[in-house]
Amino acid sequence: MTAPVLLWLHRELRLADNPLFAHNAGRRLVVTYVLDDETPGAWKPGGAARWWLHHSLGRLAASLAAIGGRLVLRRGPVATVIPEVAAQIGATEVHAGETAEPWLRRAQASVAATPGLTLTLHRTRLLFHPGDIRTGGGSPYGVFTPFARACLARGLPAPPESAPKRLVAGPQVASERLADWRLLPATPDWAGGLREAWEPGEAGAQKRLARFLGQALDGYGERRNQPGAEGTSRLSPHLAWGEISPAQAWLAAEAAGGNGLRAWVHELLWREFAAHLLWHHPHMAEKPLRPVFARMPWRDDPAALAAWRKGETGIGIVDAGMRELWHTGWMHNRVRMVVASFLVKHLLLPWQAGEAWFWDTLVDADLATNAASWQWVAGSGVDAAPYFRIFNPDLQAAKFDPDGAYVRRWSGAKRPPIVDLAAGRARALAAFRALGEPAP
Ligand SMILES: Cc1cc2nc3c(=O)[nH]c(=O)nc-3n(C[C@H](O)[C@H](O)[C@H](O)COP(=O)(O)OP(=O)(O)OC[C@H]3O[C@@H](n4cnc5c(N)ncnc54)[C@H](O)[C@@H]3O)c2cc1C
């Protein structure tokens, strides 16, 4: 009998177009997922992400069982748990997905250095290796447009691999019970809106893609900016958990066609760009990419932060967005930009506070995209929005939600604004100028 192989799944919770399975077809497999709440520096999944993870793992376990496999669940620091499981099943080969997340890269390096083990990394979550796309001179890109051009020059992704029909199970090894992980909220059960909005798992991802592409991509370029319309795919949590590969999404979009195709593919490339940035700037989730921002005189105002989190700022579109986020674990991209800009500019609160709240409440929380987007809005990122571009939330609402449908749907009781928009804007401009940011 051939030696078993350990597949270490993390954010590639699918069977189809998953190189971990395709590469190891016909071999004796043990498939494991490790919940790591212990490794120092690890970004533990937040509350909404844990809800998603529970359901995604449950569905993956059922899909594996249907083809003769089994999902082995373990908890603990991955760099210790993976070599332990490998030793228990007598595997010398571990296969996992490439990642840009610094803590996971460190853990993978530690597994790779374990005597007697080889770790093979596969491209499971991204179209390109995050360190691969470089300028002609060999440096990483700092600006999106040429990065995207370089990506597109590589052509279309390879056709997706189909899901394995049958697995050859490796040796039996102990698994924890998913229910014991307590990933779901206890009391109060705040997940009702999440249950209504989403179907986690690979089948749910395919349904979502089919529904989105059913209208082809005609008009996506305009509709994607209207929070009141269902104009975007809402695939982000499925992509974030790897229930669908970006190549599957891209190729299905090519087949569907439509005048919004290029714009949509660009969104997939923004996701690649974020991973590329995190790869080259491993501190991006914690520290500003532009060092001068370390001197930013952010305010410390717990009451304002709490009002923002709860959607009680008195600014209609901001409150609507924050309540949509709380109820569904998701927020429209345009509104994410508006609420983020309001937090860091009108309230002058640190982007890391917003990043942390998004991390805890988004079902699509993704370390690279979340950090890159927050830094972009704050002005501290590479290729960031210029500091003097301060969204006026009321004007944004008038432009993108002209009939007020979105704000009416989500915003709660009317309340007086916690900040005067003009005064907040002036305070932000003064702070940015004091930082030495050049005038427009
Ligand atoms: C402050 C802030 C924080 C954000 N945090 C996250 C996050 O944690 N996780 C996350 O997936 N997205 C994040 N985004 C990006 C974006 O808002 C979501 O990806 C998008 O709203 C998802 O909706 P969709 O799937 O309908 O997108 P579509 O318009 O259908 O786009 C298709 C896919 O492209 C990717 N994508 C779209 N927009 C962006 C973008 N601006 N940057 C990177 N990738 C993008 C997503 O994977 C998305 O599913 C953030 C944006 C902002 C402004």
Pocket of ligand 1 (CB under 6 A): 224, 232-236, 239-240, 267-268, 270-271, 274, 333, 336-337, 340, 358, 362, 364-366, 369-370, 373-374, 377
- If one counts every other C-beta atom within 10 angstroms of the C-beta of residue 138, the result is 6
Catalytic residue among 198, 351, 359, 376: 351
Q: What is the pLDDT of residue 439?
A: 55
Buried (b) or exposed (e) across 374-390, using 16+ Cβ within 10 A? bbbbbbbbbbbbebbeb
* 103 noted as active-site residue: no
| Contact criterion met (CB below 8 Å) for 18 and 161 | yes
Pocket test for ligand 1, best of 226, 236, 370 (most atoms within 8 A of CB): 236
Atom of ligand 1 at shortest distance to CA of 246? 47
Find out whether the peptide bond into 171 is cis, omega within 30 degrees of 0.
no
Q: Which tokens is 414 given?
A: 């009317």
Ligand 1 centroid to residue 374 C-alpha, Å:
12
Q: What is the pLDDT of residue 407?
A: 97
Q: What is the pLDDT of residue 165?
A: 97
Catalytic residue among 374, 376, 410, 437: 374
Closest C-alpha residue for ligand 1 atom 39: 267
Query: Does the global pTM surpass 0.95?
Result: yes
pLDDT digits (tens, 9 = 90+) for 107-122: 999 999 999 999 999 9
* 351 noted as active-site residue: yes
Ligand 1 centroid to residue 249 C-alpha, Å:
14
Strand partners, 32: 8, 72
Regions of the chain where pLDDT drops below 70: 1, 437-440
d(CA 215, CA 264): 13
Atom of ligand 1 at shortest distance to CA of 274? 43
Contacts of 415-423 with C-beta under 8 Å, sequence gap 24+, read 415/312, 415/314, 416/314, 417/313, 417/314, 417/315, 418/304, 418/307, 418/312, 418/313, 418/314, 418/347, 419/304, 419/313, 419/346, 419/347, 421/315, 421/346, 421/392, 421/393, 421/394
CA neighbor of 367 nearest in space, from 62, 33, 46: 46
Ligand 1 centroid to residue 333 C-alpha, Å:
6
CA neighbor of 366 nearest in space, from 9, 11, 7, 8: 11
Q: What is the pLDDT of residue 235?
A: 98
Pocket test for ligand 1, best of 364, 380, 389, 391 (most atoms within 8 A of CB): 364
DSSP track, 282-349: TTTTTS-SSGGGGG------HHHHHHHHHT-SS-HHHHHHHHHHHHHS---HHHHHHHHHIIIIIS--
Domain boundaries, the chain: 291-433
Strand partners, 168: 28
Pocket test for ligand 1, best of 232, 251, 325, 333 (most atoms within 8 A of CB): 333
Ligand 1 centroid to residue 439 C-alpha, Å:
30
CA neighbor of 330 nearest in space, from 20, 29, 12, 49: 49
- Is 322 exposed, middle or buried (CB count within 10 Å of its CB: 0-12, 13-18, 19+)? buried
Q: How many CA atoms lie within 13 A of 145 on its CB side?
A: 2
- Is 273 exposed, middle or buried (CB count within 10 Å of its CB: 0-12, 13-18, 19+)? buried
Atom of ligand 1 at shortest distance to CA of 332? 21
Closest C-alpha residue for ligand 1 atom 40: 270
Architecture of domain 291-433: Orthogonal Bundle (1.10)
Triad 225, 226, 227: Cα angle to 5°: 110
Pocket test for ligand 1, best of 369, 377, 382, 383 (most atoms within 8 A of CB): 369
* 270 noted as active-site residue: yes
Ligand 1 centroid to residue 63 C-alpha, Å:
28
Strand partners, 118: 93
Q: Which tokens is 286 given?
A: 């914690």
Q: Residue 369 corresponds to which amino acid?
A: T
Q: Which tokens is 373 given?
A: 């987007």
Ligand 1 centroid to residue 318 C-alpha, Å:
18
CA max distance for the chain: 73
